[in-house]
Amino acid sequence: NAGVMQNPRHLVRRRGQEARLRCSPMKGHSHVYWYRQLPEEGLKFMVYLQKENIIDESGMPKERFSAEFPKEGPSILRIQQVVRGDSAAYFCASSPGGASSGANVLTFGAGSRLTVL
């Protein structure tokens, strides 16, 4: 069981380019969460998805950011027209059940570190 796999681990983009971050959840997990972390800061919730559904995207900026979790394949966090302020570590986590299931333990990936030049 490979755990939560995120790629790329490191991504460098110039201002205005697009960044795509991928997350393959643990086998058997159908719920995915994306968090953003700035240096020396905590995890900021961005979006919570189930297969083919966005459950809660209240933490995601309205513009330039989007997320999906298709029926087949990994979850994708997409950032269009990146700016320097998007530089951060982006963590994905998965769980077998939903947030309301009563025992929602998250398994995190190692993170994708985005640097915008």
Partner 1 sequence: SQKIEQNSEALNIQEGKTATLTCNYTNYSPAYLQWYRQDPGRGPVFLLLIRENEKEKRKERLKVTFDTTLKQSLFHITASQPADSATYLCALGTANDMRFGAGTRLTVKP
Please report, as ranges, the residues that interact with partner 1 according to CB under 8 A. Answer: 4, 33, 35, 40-45, 48, 55-56, 91, 93, 99-100, 102-111
Q: Output the smallest distance, CB 81 to partner 1, in A.
A: 27
Cβ contacts of residue 14 below 8 Å, gap of 6+?
82, 116, 117
Q: Output the smallest distance, CB 75 to partner 1, in A.
A: 15
| d(C-alpha 86, C-alpha 111), whole Å | 14
Q: Output the smallest distance, CB 96 to partner 1, in A.
A: 13
Residue 109 and residue 4 in contact, taking contact as beta carbons nearer than 8 Å: yes
Beta carbon nearer to partner 1, 17 or 107: 107
